[in-house]
Chains A and B, each alone.
Chain A
């Protein structure tokens, strides 16, 4: 593996919005304190459903007209991109805008806007002359990345990567690849989701028996707990600034960590049901790329979504890979924020990055009775755990149609160069 400074890719900025935080500092604080903020929202045709809703101020970077014409995913992306660039101490106007790439993972895009328009024309006897002319730019698959490009005047490539709930990791991986190919100098990468604004996603999960319900909204997302009964759907976004280690060192940028490995593969067997063997192979692929052994990993952020089968399958995969890794710890971020779909991979990685500094592993919460099938060694339950050091994080993110993705990040310090 080429380890030159031009091939080593680092994270130098983080911008995010989650149901329980609109900055990494706030998000991390709440992950360590056990604060979730899941709520009930009124869903068209369905009534009250559980969801994670973000509370960022879209008008911080957009006019009200831009918010109205654009999409929620676009607003989430714009907010996160600005915050990531600010965090990275980069001013777009001082950069070569042709050399900034925007690669945003999505689970889906366009359902929200299409449902809204069908609902609107239903008020007019389904006469299509009442169909909104903004529908097409709102629903093209590149919309969330394109809104970032337009808002920030970034003229480099922009597109989304459709990867179901692996989308966030795929955005990161795409950015790493494009930087290594010298196609761009800065990559804005990650994922966004506006899925809580489409009834179809909720109804689909509900009719599949996979939509969470609990009297206490904050206890509904409970991976690995015996009483888990499905997914809490959430909106959210997370964008990282990625660049080559060479440029980060040159401009003395803050470095959150280095992306040292990744893996992507496919189950190739079922649209929905997970495959633990393929998941294990994907983790091994990422470890091999990073030239690491399982025992070198300090924290594994599990993908587990709080479904009975999904959580068990992932635990099977983890047990298979991490048999001789007594010091590897496992946690879960969806237990706090629900499933942020296309944002999940990036957002959950972000929530763990501060552990390089604070040496805390945030827990998986809401485990009252651990499912014996999910009894992983060193599963951090309900309370954070302090470790002597945290040097590596492995982030799982899997999605429908059998796509698996893994990203490994390593702590950077002066000894790393």
Chain B
């Protein structure tokens, strides 16, 4: 499941930033240091999670989306709860 969540996040990033190179993302490095993403882009990620998977990320948890690893750790239980 963890690998799936990682890929889900990468797929969403590819949708919202089609020009971004997501082929060599490091899991522990903040996404904003590896890609040209701003706070609006993170809102797009949140909206896509809501639309595509019915997963809500409250504003107080936005910091959990900082790295791929933190996304996986935070979102995996939420995805699991959906199954």
Q: Which residues of A contact B (CB under 8 A)?
A: 63-65, 68-69, 120, 124, 129-130, 132-134
Contact = CB atoms under 8 A, between A and B. Distances in A.
Contact of A65 (B16, B50, B51): B16
10 contacts: A64-B19, A65-B20, A68-B16, A120-B51, A130-B47, A130-B50, A132-B47, A133-B43, A133-B44, A134-B40
B47 A133 contact: yes
B3 to A, nearest CB: 26
Given A120-B51, A133-B43, A133-B44, 12 more contacts: A65-B16, A65-B18, A65-B19, A65-B20, A68-B16, A69-B40, A130-B47, A130-B50, A130-B51, A133-B40, A133-B47, A134-B44
Nearest to B20: A65
Contacts of A134: 40, 44
A63 B19 contact: yes
A129 to B, nearest CB: 7
Between A65, A124, A130, A132, the greatest number of chain B beta carbons within 10 A of the residue's beta carbon is seen for A65
A127 to B, nearest CB: 10
A210 B53 CA distance: 44
Interface residues of B, number: 11
Chain B contact surface mostly: helix
B5 interface: no
Between B20, B40, B47, B50, the greatest number of chain A beta carbons within 10 A of the residue's beta carbon is seen for B47
Contacts of A69: 40
A124 B19 CA distance: 29
Contacts of A65: 16-20
B51 A124 contact: yes
A273 B44 CA distance: 44
Nearest to A130: B51
A68 B17 CA distance: 9
A68 B16 CA distance: 8
Interface string B11-47: 0000011111000000000000000000010011001
Contacts of B40: 69, 133-134
Contacts of A124: 51
Contacts of B20: 65
Contacts of B47: 130, 132-133
A120 B40 CA distance: 19
Contacts of B50: 129-130
A79 B17 CA distance: 20
A119 to B, nearest CB: 13
Contacts of A132: 47
Nearest to B56: A129
A64 B18 CA distance: 6
Nearest to B47: A132
A63 B21 CA distance: 13
A57 to B, nearest CB: 15
B52 to A, nearest CB: 11
A65 B44 CA distance: 11
A63 B40 CA distance: 16
Interface in B26-83: 40, 43-44, 47, 50-51
A349 B18 CA distance: 37
Contacts of B18: 63-65, 68
Contacts of B44: 133-134
Contacts of A68: 16, 18
A64 B17 CA distance: 7
Nearest to A64: B18
Nearest to A133: B43
Contacts of B19: 63-65
Nearest to B36: A65
Between B40, B43, B50, B51, the greatest number of chain A beta carbons within 10 A of the residue's beta carbon is seen for B51
Nearest to B19: A63
